[in-house]
């Protein structure tokens, strides 16, 4: 039996893992959706086929993250969703629109397929923008001033560009020929925008939050924390160089930019997590104040021990089965 403090750390760790997995896995398929061309049906079909076996399962991590928040930190769940009710509604509309458009585009007549492609692209954009907006509002402690809304809008654009970046690197890895070369160019452009977005949001957060600034730049924390942005910047530079090399030889190392993008997402998330720990709602609730009764969480931990590894295993298995270059998506 674990005590309340230990359970809070365990469950916030599980929730953090779920959010990170969602940002990476559903992030790339949202990025592919936003990059979907409306003037090239063949490329659109290949791009949709590249995420076909995975996109629905990727959203499992979002369900798990929200479920863990509700079960383990009910007070934080109530406070967060109360503040983010409207953007969360738009996010769900976007995700539902994506799901409907994904299935209907395969069953509609050829003449109607472009309409469903537009809706799939729109749903992806809605979902990405609202997720970025919610992240911005969460980070600034649900500040409803003009500066708070501007920061949330900046975060919405930054997250959307980051999703486009990881989506483009996914296409570089999964496609061939003209589409792959086009994806390399897109990845280079979105890499630059994503880098500027992450740097701007991070700098703005440090500027307007003295507690986070102090946490990062006081000794000895600075010795352990400064490698995070330095390594992250180096990974951006390395990814850009690899993409330039792939323009000349796209047959070798096409998967490395995607792996580097995963590392960038992981380091960015680690930095964000450390900035706000132990708060689960910034400057309002710590994990120990919001955690549920230890009797209930000790019981639920047994389920988490089974569920989380199971999701990880079937996720890994599905990617192993469908690894390699994309094949034509078929419905039977």
pTM: 0.90
Asked if the structure places residue 332 within a domain, the reply is no
**Per-residue pLDDT at 330:** 56
Q: Is residue 331 part of a domain?
A: no
| pLDDT at site 191 | 93
pLDDT beneath 50: ranges in the chain:
332
Q: 326 lies in a domain?
A: no
Position 332 scores a pLDDT of 47
Closest to 94 in 3D by CA, of 118, 130, 53, 55: 130
Determine the pLDDT at residue 78.
Answer: 86
pLDDT of residue 108: 63
pLDDT of residue 261: 94
Rounded Cα distance, 31 and 217, in Å: 34
Query: Judging by beta carbons within 10 Å of its beta carbon (0-12, 13-18, 19+), is residue 46 exposed, middle or buried?
Result: buried
Residue 310 lies in a domain: yes
In a domain, 48, yes or no: yes
Measured in residues, the chain has a length of 332
> pLDDT tens digits for 91-140?
999 989 888 888 887 776 666 778 888 899 999 999 999 999 999 888 88
Predicted pLDDT at 4: 79
Answer whether residue 76 is part of any domain: yes
User: What are the tens digits of pLDDT across the range 207-253?
Assistant: 777 888 888 888 887 888 888 889 999 999 999 999 999 888 887 88
Query: For position 239, what pLDDT does the model report?
Result: 93
Q: What is the pLDDT of residue 109?
A: 63
Q: Quick one: which H or E segment has residue 301?
A: helix 294-321
- Burial tier of 22 (Cβ tally within 10 Å: 0-12, 13-18, 19+): buried
Residue 110: the pLDDT is 63
Is 225 inside a domain boundary?
yes
Domain that holds residue 288: 4-321
Rg of the chain over all Cα atoms, to the nearest angstrom: 20
Q: Considering the domain boundaries, does residue 18 fall inside one? A: yes
How far apart are alpha carbons 23 and 133 in whole angstroms?
14
Domain count, the chain: 1
What is residue 202's predicted lDDT score, i.e. its pLDDT?
83
φ, ψ of residue 286 to 5 degrees: the values are: -90, 165
């Amino acid at each position: 039996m674990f005590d309340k403090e230990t359970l809070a750390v365990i469950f916030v760790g599980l929730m953090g893992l779920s959010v990170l997995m969602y940002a990476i896995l559903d992030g790339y398929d949202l990025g592919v959706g936003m990059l979907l061309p409306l003037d090239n049906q063949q490329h659109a079909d290949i791009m949709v086929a590249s995420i076909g076996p995975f996109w629905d399962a990727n959203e499992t991590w979002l369900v798990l993250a929200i479920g863990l928040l509700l079960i383990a930190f009910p007070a934080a769940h109530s406070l967060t969703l109360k503040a983010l009710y409207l953007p969360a509604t738009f996010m769900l509309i976007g995700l539902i629109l994506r799901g409907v458009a994904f299935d209907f585009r395969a069953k509609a007549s050829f003449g109607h397929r472009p309409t469903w492609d537009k809706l799939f692209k729109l749903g992806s954009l809605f979902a990405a923008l609202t997720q970025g907006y919610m992240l911005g509002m969460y980070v600034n402690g649900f500040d409803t001033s003009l500066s708070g809304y501007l920061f949330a809008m900046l975060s919405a654009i930054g997250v959307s560009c980051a999703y486009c970046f990881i989506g483009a690197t996914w296409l570089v890895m999964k496609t061939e020929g003209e589409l792959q070369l086009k994806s390399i160019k897109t990845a280079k452009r979105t890499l630059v925008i994503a880098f500027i977005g992450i740097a701007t949001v991070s700098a703005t957060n440090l500027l307007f939050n003295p507690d986070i600034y102090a946490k990062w730049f006081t000794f000895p924390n600075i010795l352990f924390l400064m490698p995070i942005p330095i390594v992250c910047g180096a990974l951006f530079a390395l990814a850009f160089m690899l993409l330039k090399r792939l323009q000349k030889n796209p047959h070798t190392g096409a998967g490395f930019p995607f792996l580097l993008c995963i590392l960038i997402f992981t380091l960015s998330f680690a930095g964000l997590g450390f900035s706000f720990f132990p708060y689960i709602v910034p400057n309002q609730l710590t994990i120990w104040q919001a955690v549920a009764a230890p009797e209930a969480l000790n019981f639920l931990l047994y389920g988490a021990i089974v569920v989380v590894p199971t999701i990880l295993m079937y996720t890994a298995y599905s990617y192993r089965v469908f690894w390699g270059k994309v094949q034509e998506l078929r419905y039977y």
